[in-house]
């Protein structure tokens, strides 16, 4: 016996902003990832950890989780691989032994001197592709990234 299911409401997935933002973010991120994966052999989560450390210096795993919107296990796995590659170091936080502090090693800093210009060039390319719409996109992203209460 066939179950009578209510009809689904109309929904334009391809016009749904959260979906479009997610797809655009993944595509633009992957464009840069192909470059640094080929040059340095690192993944997107590893890039996120490295660039956050380059930006912030010594930080906890918890801080990276919050700042780069990654799950704890993703940050931990990426950090483990980066430590094994000699790109970051891990130290116990003297103020709170439950927290681990990560920082770039000299090898990691050297990699970032090559990687950050690649990221800047990618940013410039995105700005060029978007043209006049870039400023509007930036303003919209600022609104979306504001913390809500």
Per-residue pLDDT, averaged over 52-73, amounts to 86
pLDDT of residue 34: 95
Q: Per-residue pLDDT tens for 107-139?
A: 999 999 999 999 999 999 999 999 999 999 999
Helices 44-56, 61-68: crossing angle, 10 deg rounding: 110
- Tallying the residues shown for the chain, one arrives at 149
Q: Tell me what the mean pLDDT of segment 74-88 comes to.
A: 94
What's the whole-model pTM score? 0.82
Is residue 101 over pLDDT 80?
yes
CATH 3.40.50.720 for the 25-121 domain, yes or no: no
Q: What pLDDT, on the 0 to 100 scale, is given for residue 2?
A: 66
Between CA 113 and CA 120, with CA 115 as vertex, the angle to 5 degrees is 100
Lowest pLDDT segment from 78-82, 93-97, 104-108: 93-97
DSSP string computed for 96-144 = -TTSEEEEE-HHHHHHHHHHHHHHHHHHHHHHHHHTTHHHHHHHHHHHH
Model confidence at 148, pLDDT cuts 50, 70, 90, reads low
Whose structure tokens read 């391809």? 14
């Amino acid at each position: 016996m066939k179950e009578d299911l209510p009809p689904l409401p109309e929904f334009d997935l391809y016009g749904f902003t959260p979906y479009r933002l997610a797809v655009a973010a993944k595509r633009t991120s992957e464009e840069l990832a192909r470059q640094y994966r080929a040059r340095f052999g690192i993944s997107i989560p590893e890039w996120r950890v490295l660039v956050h450390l380059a930006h912030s210096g010594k930080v906890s795993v918890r801080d990276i989780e919050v700042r780069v919107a990654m799950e704890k296990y993703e940050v931990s796995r990426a950090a483990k691989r980066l430590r094994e590659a000699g790109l970051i170091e891990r130290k116990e936080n003297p103020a709170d032994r439950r927290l681990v502090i990560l920082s770039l090693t000299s090898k990691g800093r050297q990699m970032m001197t090559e990687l950050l210009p690649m990221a800047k060039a990618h940013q410039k390319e995105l700005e060029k592709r978007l043209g006049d719409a870039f400023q509007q996109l930036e303003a919209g992203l600022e609104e979306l990234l504001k913390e809500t209460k």
